[in-house]
Amino acid sequence: MSITQLVGIFLASILTENYILCKFFGICPFLGVSKKLDTALGMSAAVTFVMVLATAVTWPIYTYILVPNEFEYLQTLVFILVIAGLVQLVEIVLRKYMPPLYNALGIYLPLITTNCAVLGITMLVLDKGAEDPAFGYVASLVNALGAGIGFLVAMVMFAGVRERLESCDIPKSLRGLPITLVSASLVACSFLGFSGIVDKLLQ
Amino acid sequence: MAEKKPLIKEFTKGIIKENPVLCLVLGTCPTLAVTTGVSSAVGMGLAATAVLVCSNSVISALRKVIPNKVRIPAYITIIAAFVTIVQMIVKAYAPALNDALGVYLPLIVVNCIILGRAEMFASKNGVAASAIDGLGMGIGFTAALFLMGSIREILGAGSWLGLPIPILNSNPILIFILPPGGFFVFGMLMAIANKLNSEKPAKNKEEIGCAACPMHDNCGKLAKGEECAAE
C-alpha cells in the first residue's frame, strides 16, 4: 500500500468517517466528558492510545490464531476480553513507570473497556481487510490512529461549543442533554460538508 | 422475590418510568446509529432484548458463585457469549438484518444497558425477577428505537417500514436519515420526555447513573456530594 493511500485512509478516518459524528461510536464519553476542555483532551488521548494498541494486538490474534483454526465466531468474545485485559495492563504499566501520564489518563482508563469506539475499530478494520486484501496490518494501524485523532478533534471542538452553551438562556425542558444533542447535530452537519474531500485532495 | 405483584412492576418500569434510552440515557450509540429505518431499529431492539433476558437470567443464577472482585469481567464474558449466539442466529435466518446492523450487532456487548442491568439488578435479585426486568428493559429499548426509527424514516425517506407515504415520499427531508438528524431527533425526544417528567421530582443520580459506571467501586463521588469523576 502506497503512502498516498495511507494518508488517504488517515484523513478519511478523521474527517469523512469521523467516529463520533458520522458513525456514532463512543457517544457516551462524547456526551459525558466533553464539558471541559482538559478532561476532553485527557479522555481522547487515552482512547486514541488504547485504540491503536488494541488494533495492534487483535489484528494478529484474529488473522493468525482465529482464522486458521476456524474460530472466527469467537471474535466478539476474544476481542472484548483482550481489550479488557489490555486496559488493565496499560493501567498497571502506566502507574508503575509513568506516574505523570497515569495521573493524567488514569481515571479515564477503566471507562474505555466499555467504550464501543475501541471494540468498533478493531472489528471494522477486519471488515475492511476482508473486502480489500491490500488493507493489511499497517493500513489497519493507520486507520485506528486516524479514528483516535478524529475522536479527539470532535471532542475538543465540542468542548468549545459546550463552554459557550453554559452562558446561554435555554428553555427549561431543553436544559442538559437535549440541547447538547441538538448542538451535536449542528456540529455533525458541518462534518457532512467534508464528504468527498479526501478523494478530491489525493487525486 | 417470587410474588406476582412486584414481577409486573419489574416489567412495566422498564417501559415507561425507567425507559433505558429516554430516561436513563443508556445505550445511546446503537440508538443513534441503527434508527435510520424502522426495520433495522426493531431488529436491533429485539436482538438486544434477547441478549438482555438471557444474560440477566444467567448472571442472576450465578450471582452467588461469581466472586465480587472479578464480577465485571465475568459479566462481560457471559454477555459476549449470548451476543455471539444472537449474531449467529441473525446471520443464519435474517442475513438482510445482519447487513443492515453491521458492526453494531457485535457491539451489543458493550451496550451499557446490558452491563448496567446486570450490575444494578441481576446481581441482587432472583432469576425470575431478573428475566422479567430484562424483558421490560428490552421492550422499553425496542419501543424507543421504534419511535426514533419511525420519525426518522417517515421524515427522512418518506416511507414507513418500506411502505411509501404520499406527499412526504416525493419530498423527503434527507437530513433526518443522516447523522445530524439522529442527534436532533434524539435531543427533541429527550426534551419531550423531560417536559412530561417535569412535574415529578428529579431522580437521584447516584441511583441510576453510577451503578453502570465501571468506576463505581473506586469513585463514589456523587454519593459524597462531589462532582462525578467521569464528567
Write down the mean pLDDT value for chain B: 81
Query: Can you give the pLDDT at residue B199?
Result: 61
Any idea what the Cα angle at residue A139 is, between residues A31 and A126, rounded to 5°? Answer: 70
Q: In chain A, positions 120-149, which contact chain B (CB-CB < 8 Å)? A: 120, 123-124, 127
Q: Give the pLDDT mean for B49-62.
A: 94
How far is Cα A83 from Cα A68, in angstroms, rounded to an integer?
22
Q: Are residues B88 and B181 in the same domain?
A: yes
Structurally, chain B folds into a number of domains equal to: 2
Which residue in the block uniquely carries the three cell numbers 445530524? B180
Residue B146: CB atoms within 10 Å: 16
- Percent of chain A residues topping a pLDDT of 90: 20
Judged against a pLDDT cut of 60, whether residue A91 lies above it is answered with yes
- The structural domains of chain A, with segments of one domain joined by +, span 3-202
**pLDDT higher at A119 or B18:** A119
Q: Are residues B180 and B224 in the same domain?
A: no
Amino acid identity for residue B11 in this structure:
F
Residue in A with minimal Cα distance to B187: A178
Q: Are residues B56 and B137 in the same domain?
A: yes
Task: Report pLDDT digits (tens) over B193-207.
Answer: 888 877 655 554 444
How far is Cα B21 from Cα B113, in angstroms, rounded to an integer?
9
Highest-scoring range by mean pLDDT, A68-82, A97-111, A187-201, B155-169: A68-82
Q: Does A24 sit within 8 Å of B179, measured CB to CB?
A: yes
Helix (H, G, I), strand (E, B) or coil at B132: helix
Query: Can you give the pLDDT at residue B54?
Result: 95
Task: Report pLDDT digits (tens) over B127-182.
Answer: 999 999 999 999 999 999 999 999 999 998 888 887 888 888 888 888 888 889 99
Contacts of B109 in chain A (CB under 8 A): 76, 80, 119
Q: Are residues B50 and B144 in the same domain?
A: yes
Structural contact between residues B33 and B154, judged by C-beta atoms closer than 8 angstroms: no
Q: Give the pLDDT mean for B103-117.
A: 86
Q: Does A28 sit within 8 Å of B29, measured CB to CB?
A: yes
Q: Give the pLDDT mean for A36-60.
A: 88
Query: Can you give the pLDDT at residue A129?
Result: 86
Model confidence band, residue B228 (pLDDT cutoffs 50, 70, 90): low
Which residue in the block uniquely carries the three cell numbers 495511507? A6
Q: Does B174 touch chain A (CB under 8 A)?
A: no
Judged against a pLDDT cut of 70, whether residue A97 lies above it is answered with yes
Judged against a pLDDT cut of 70, whether residue A139 lies above it is answered with yes
Query: Can you give the pLDDT at residue A192?
Result: 85
Q: Does A165 touch chain B (CB under 8 A)?
A: no
Which residue in the block uniquely carries the three cell numbers 449467529? B88
Q: Give the pLDDT mean for B96-111.
A: 88
Q: Are residues B19 and B92 in the same domain?
A: yes
Q: How far is CA A42 from the centre of its chain?
A: 13
How far is Cα B187 from Cα B189, in angstroms, rounded to an integer?
6
Q: Are residues B214 and B177 in the same domain?
A: no
Query: Can you give the pLDDT at residue B3?
Result: 46
Q: Are residues B10 and B105 in the same domain?
A: yes
Residue A166: CB atoms within 10 Å: 8
pTM above 0.90, yes or no: no
Domain hosting residue B211, numbered range: 205-231
Residue B22 C-alpha, separation from nearest chain A C-alpha, in angstroms: 10
How far is Cα A164 from Cα A186, in angstroms, rounded to an integer?
14
Complex prediction ipTM: 0.85
Residue B125 C-alpha, separation from nearest chain A C-alpha, in angstroms: 24
Query: Can you give the pLDDT at residue B5?
Result: 54
Residue A4: CB atoms within 10 Å: 10
Model confidence band, residue A152 (pLDDT cutoffs 50, 70, 90): very high
